[in-house]
Amino acid sequence: MLKKLVLVFLLTTHIVACVPGIHSSGPAIAKAQLLTNVFITPDGSYLPLKSWNTPLPETKSVIIAVHGFNDYSNFFQQAGTYFSQHQTQSYAYDQRGFGGSANRGLWAGINTYIADLDCFIQLVKLRHPDVPIYLLGQSMGAAIVIATMTQSNHQLVNGIILAAPAVWARQTMPWYQNTLLWTLSHTVPWMTLTGEGIEIMPSDNIKVLQALSKDPLVIKETRIESIYGLANLMDQAYSSAGLITDNALLLYGEKDEVIPKQPTYQFLNNLANTSDSRITIALYKNGYHMLLRDLDAAILWNDIYFWINTFATPLPSGADIRAQQILNQPIE
């Protein structure tokens, strides 16, 4: 892959410059709807929807789960099943360009992702008017939750859960990484990259990783322009730490090899320095990037369930106490 990137870089002077594409939503032409298996947006887009209904007569809370980059709504299958057994209803939809949605692999833009989530929140609140709603985002999904809440300050949401938030901003990246991304995104934005040759362990749950590798709805070849769009989103999320004023629970695995410790801990420290008592930060010693699907995922599910019902600390796992001990210390 490295040779391929270098070759493209050397040829860029002979290529007409392009602009990374954003395949945003169209004008409003339909009434937004929340159906059994689909979320219909105002521009008439059909976004596949999954829900985990609680079998109990009373729903105590609702979680709207937002998936990460190249993933889709199925990421919440195990967690959603757990929460459904604890009087908590969960919803997750395939965001534009991901999973079973149209324009697969194409980046829709930050504003469109925010608008979709904002609309979805309103529809869920109409369905559950007297039940507290929580947003849960994984990686890129967490960055979208941050962007949505800091721009619209949604009064319909009672709290947010950010799992392994994608906050690897450009200002924390090496200069050559920034230069290469800008050059490729403005010359060959349509070029795709795979993860072949990259030795990164996103989770210790091998069965889950094997299932993802075989799942046709998980994107395996990523367009450069989509990576560029993700970088823009991470920039915005990273710089918004001081704007998060909602009840917030942040979860990060110390073995995360996808989003590095340096930018994450800087983000968490910036967040902690807001001195807002409604923010709880938890660090999991054996956690990887895919925290909600790791072998120890049940520990996090339990922490989340405890938090959304009490907003109290310490968490059952003690991960918030560990965070207090580790943050503000030199990063290894």
Q: Report if residue 164 sits inside a domain.
A: yes
Terminal-residue alpha carbon distance, the chain: 29
pLDDT band at 277 (very low <50, low <70, confident <90, very high): low
Token couple for 97 = 């360009």
How many folded domains does the chain comprise? 1
Q: Nearest-CA neighbor of 202 among 129, 287, 131?
A: 287
Is the per-residue pLDDT at 153 higher than 50?
yes
pLDDT at 25: 84
Q: Nearest-CA neighbor of 304 among 149, 138, 140?
A: 138
Instruction: Out of 16-30, 184-198, 219-233, give the one with best mean pLDDT.
Output: 219-233
Question: What does pLDDT average to over the chain?
Answer: 91
Q: Report if residue 7 sits inside a domain.
A: yes
Q: Report if residue 331 sits inside a domain.
A: no
pLDDT tens-place string over residues 41-71: 999 999 999 999 987 678 999 999 999 999 9
Q: Exposure of 331 by Cβ count < 10 A (0-12 exposed, 13-18 middle, 19+ buried)?
A: exposed
The CATH number that applies at residue 128 is 3.40.50.1820
pLDDT at 13: 40
Degrees, nearest 5: CA angle 195-226-236: 110
Q: Please give the order of strands across the beta sheet that includes 159-163.
A: 33-34, 38-40, 46-52, 88-93, 61-66, 133-138, 159-163, 248-253, 279-284
Whether 264 and 258 have beta carbons less than 8 Å apart is answered as no
Q: Report if residue 332 sits inside a domain.
A: no
**Bridge partners (DSSP) listed for residue 135:** 64, 160
pLDDT tens-place string over residues 115-140: 999 999 999 999 999 999 999 999 99
Is the per-residue pLDDT at 244 higher than 90?
no
Length in residues, the chain: 332
Q: What is the mean pLDDT of residues 170-199?
A: 90
Q: Report if residue 123 sits inside a domain.
A: yes
Q: State which residues form the domain around 250.
A: 2-326
With a CB cutoff of 8 Å and minimum separation 6, the contacts of 194 are 1, 220, 221, 222
pTM of the model: 0.92
Q: Report if residue 301 sits inside a domain.
A: yes
